[in-house]
Structure 1
Amino acid sequence: MASEFPIHTPEVLDHERAYHAFNMVLRWSMLLLATLISTLTLWFATPVGFWGAALIGAVVFALGYVFLVRHEAHQPLDVWTEGR
């Protein structure tokens, strides 16, 4: 039974690219907000101080980059690709 809607039309691929771009902007925003909130909270609300907060902020950014941004950036745009 053939599908009524073709899967790989130019409109669908454009939509996938736009969704991927939006998803990446959202992930970068989440990462930067998490880093900023944790750094400022540790700096001003705890006795850790600036350098301790900056170090922990760098660790939060590095871990967030590895788990949020880097993994998704290497995924193919086509969600029907094998292994996605």
Structure 2
Amino acid sequence: MASEYHRGEMDISEQVATFHLFNGLTKWGSLALTAMMVLLVLWFCTPTGFLGAFISAVVVTALGVFFLRDKPASDH
């Protein structure tokens, strides 16, 4: 019955957990794909070679981890 529904009383913890999991997988998966693409493109498509490509991929990964890590929650 429509009269039994009360807005805002449903437990949404599973939806919140799924949302955070999806966002985390998207964020870290994108970083992994970006680092892999940097490595492969620089290694095979430029005269950089493996060492230069590997160093570039490590730098991209380090910067990505620094900028994409979870920030502390604000207190307001």
How many angstroms apart in 2 are the aligned matches of 1:5 and 1:62?
44
- Gap runs ≥5 in structure 1: 76-80
TM-score calculated relative to the size of structure 2: 0.78
Bigger relative CO (Cα 8 Å, ≥ 6 apart): 1
How many residues align? The count is 71
Between structure 1 and structure 2, the one with the greater Rg is: 2
**Counterpart AA for 2:21:** A
List, as ranges, runs of 4+ consecutive aligned residues in structure 1 with deviation greater than 6 Å.
none
Aligned partner of 2:3 in structure 1 is none
Matches of residues 2-81 of structure 1 in structure 2 within 5 Å?
5-6=7-8, 9-10=10-11, 12-68=12-68, 70-71=69-70
Q: RMSD over aligned Cα, in angstroms?
A: 2.2
**Counterpart AA for 1:71:** D
TM-score calculated relative to the size of structure 1: 0.72
